[in-house]
């Protein structure tokens, strides 16, 4: 998301929607430039030493995410938020950590705080929908992602999530309609994983695996966010 990833996942129009294929760590590194700039603006005249310490703390938290040490990431991020509570990037990142710990209520509060500060902050907006998806509230998640798609109809990540919601709801025709609108080969693995999801739903796991294998060959590690989504749904292709 991711993301998310699937959970994160997942920036303004110049970053997130054009890079929804990035892995969680890479995505947060893209956002780091925004964060480090707002540290200086939001903190009360931080010294260079304080700003450097905050930067290192964020990098360490990102490292914890990369190694799936979410307890450590959560602790570091709570400390960072105490210093810069108004920063949307940090609030979103903290929400991502809470999501990984399945504390969805705390996660949503963080995303809401990020959006209060920056209403058009795509990661937090996407992650609110992802919370519904992860809690298997597929009808609500579909409605949420459809609203986002009205503002950004060519966003491949949003198309992918809406397609998955329809499949989970048994709306195969609606899923096929979305699939036809996803760009091929696309800027992300969305087309390949959408095809795989449809084939898997139809019981054609061999064909689904072929699509996933093709995506991995073309996009490499950029498929991690999509792999996480399949894992969350229990789609096992091997």
35 and 6 within one domain = yes
Domain boundary, last residue among 135, 165, 183: 135
> Is there a domain that residue 140 lies in?
no
Is residue 159 within 8 A of residue 188, CB to CB? The reply is no
Tally the domains of the chain. 2
> Is there a domain that residue 2 lies in?
yes
Is the pTM higher than 0.85? The answer reads no
60 CB contacts (<8 Å, ≥6 apart)? Answer: 76
160 and 131 within one domain = no
> Is there a domain that residue 163 lies in?
yes
176 and 220 within one domain = yes
> Is there a domain that residue 168 lies in?
yes
Per-residue pLDDT of the chain (238 residues; tens, 9 = 90+): 333 333 333 323 232 333 333 344 444 444 443 444 454 444 544 566 677 788 888 889 989 988 999 999 999 999 999 988 888 989 999 999 999 999 999 999 999 999 999 999 999 999 999 999 999 999 999 999 999 999 999 999 999 999 999 999 999 999 999 999 999 989 999 999 999 999 999 999 999 999 999 999 999 988 988 999 999 999 987 7
CB environment 202-228: b (16+ within 10 A), e (fewer) = eeeeeebbbbbebbbeebeebbbbbbb
164 and 107 within one domain = no
In this prediction, residue 84 carries a pLDDT of 87
| Domain membership of residue 60 as a residue range | 1-135
131 and 160 within one domain = no
In this prediction, residue 52 carries a pLDDT of 77
In this prediction, residue 47 carries a pLDDT of 63
> Is there a domain that residue 39 lies in?
yes
In this prediction, residue 141 carries a pLDDT of 98
168 and 84 within one domain = no
- The alpha helices in the chain, defined as continuous H runs, are 24-42, 48-66, 70-83, 88-100, 104-117, 122-134, 138-151, 156-168, 172-181, 190-201, 205-219, 224-233
């Amino acid at each position: 998301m991711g993301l998310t990833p699937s959970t994160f996942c997942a920036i303004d129009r110049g970053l997130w929607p054009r890079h929804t294929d990035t892995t969680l760590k890479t995505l947060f590194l893209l956002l780091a430039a925004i964060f480090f700039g707002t540290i200086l603006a939001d903190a009360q005249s931080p010294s260079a030493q304080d700003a450097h310490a905050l930067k290192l703390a964020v990098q360490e938290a990102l490292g914890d995410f990369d190694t799936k040490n979410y307890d450590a990431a959560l602790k570091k991020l709570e400390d960072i938020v105490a210093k810069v509570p108004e920063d949307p990037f940090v609030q979103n990142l903290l929400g991502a950590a809470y999501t990984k710990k399945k504390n969805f209520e705390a996660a949503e509060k963080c995303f809401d705080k990020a959006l209060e500060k920056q209403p058009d902050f795509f990661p937090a907006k996407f992650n609110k929908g992802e919370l519904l998806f992860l809690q298997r509230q597929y009808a609500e998640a579909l409605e949420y992602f459809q609203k986002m798609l009205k503002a950004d109809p060519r966003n491949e990540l949003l198309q992918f999530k809406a397609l998955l919601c329809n499949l989970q709801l048994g709306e195969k025709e609606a899923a096929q309609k979305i699939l036809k609108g996803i760009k091929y080969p696309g800027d992300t693995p969305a087309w390949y994983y959408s095809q795989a999801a449809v084939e898997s739903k139809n019981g054609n796991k061999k064909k689904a695996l072929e699509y996933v294998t093709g995506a991995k060959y073309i996009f490499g590690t950029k498929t991690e966010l999509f792999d996480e989504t399949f894992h969350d749904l229990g789609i096992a292709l091997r």
